[in-house]
Chain A
Amino acid sequence: DAGITQSPRHKVTETGTPVTLRCHQTENHRYMYWYRQDPGHGLRLIHYSYGVKDTDKGEVSDGYSVSRSKTEDFLLTLESATSSQTSVYFCAISESNVRDYGYTFGSGTRLTVV
């Protein structure tokens, strides 16, 4: 989607290895979010950021960490990947508080942990 890029698009990794997913935006939006999508669960929030160096946990944050050192990049790290973290990961951005704006989503990263 325009203004937001996720990398890589696909990744296969081994159990126990660290993995970092990148979300890059060119919209200068304040809010950035990481969700995972699994069959039967819809989208679940992992972590989100409301500014540089300001992050908070979502409902499924265990095993994940994030960093945001500049406005345009939001990194999601799986410290030690497990098979339960096999999923499709989506990054989203929002101009301001969701009271007034919807999200713009990236195209997703399909992660397989073997």
Chain B
Amino acid sequence: SQQGEEDPQALSIQEGENATMNCSYKTSINNLQWYRQNSGRGLVHLILIRSNEREKHSGRLRVTLDTSKKSSSLLITASRAADTASYFCATDARTDKLIFGTGTRLQVFP
């Protein structure tokens, strides 16, 4: 069973717009992570947010975490065509391994 579920499953926007993806999970966590996957490639780690953190920034990425609602969001500001990819959240469920969600497919049109 999946620990994380991303919403929406697919998202299409124009370059310059912001993209927001959401992730919900089921059990207590130590941290939540976001990954990007370009078509035909492996996943790339984007950002890690710990359970005692509420918000974290990295460049054009902003991640929030609400442990009371067991949810997180990933915001990509000023999207570019190169941001076209699938985005996955992953949680540790307080174990030594990550459980991944099913992903959000983001398409950014020039």
Contact = CB atoms under 8 A, between A and B. Distances in A.
A74 interface: no
Given A41-B102, A43-B88, A107 B41 contact: yes
Contact of A103 (B31, B45, B50): B45
Interface stretch (B13-21, B60-68, B91-99): B91-99
Given A33-B97, A42-B103, A43-B100, A98 B92 contact: yes
B43 interface: yes
Contacts of A101: 48
Contacts of B99: 45, 59
Given A43-B88, A98-B31, A99-B92, A108 B41 contact: yes
B45 A98 contact: no
Contacts, number: 62
25 contacts: A31-B96, A33-B97, A33-B98, A41-B102, A42-B2, A42-B100, A42-B102, A43-B88, A45-B97, A45-B98, A58-B97, A90-B43, A97-B96, A98-B31, A98-B98, A99-B31, A101-B48, A102-B35, A102-B45, A102-B48, A103-B43, A105-B42, A105-B44, A107-B42, A108-B42
Given A40-B102, A42-B101, A105-B43, 17 more contacts: A33-B97, A35-B100, A41-B2, A42-B102, A42-B103, A43-B43, A45-B99, A90-B42, A98-B97, A99-B30, A99-B31, A102-B33, A102-B45, A103-B35, A105-B42, A105-B44, A106-B42
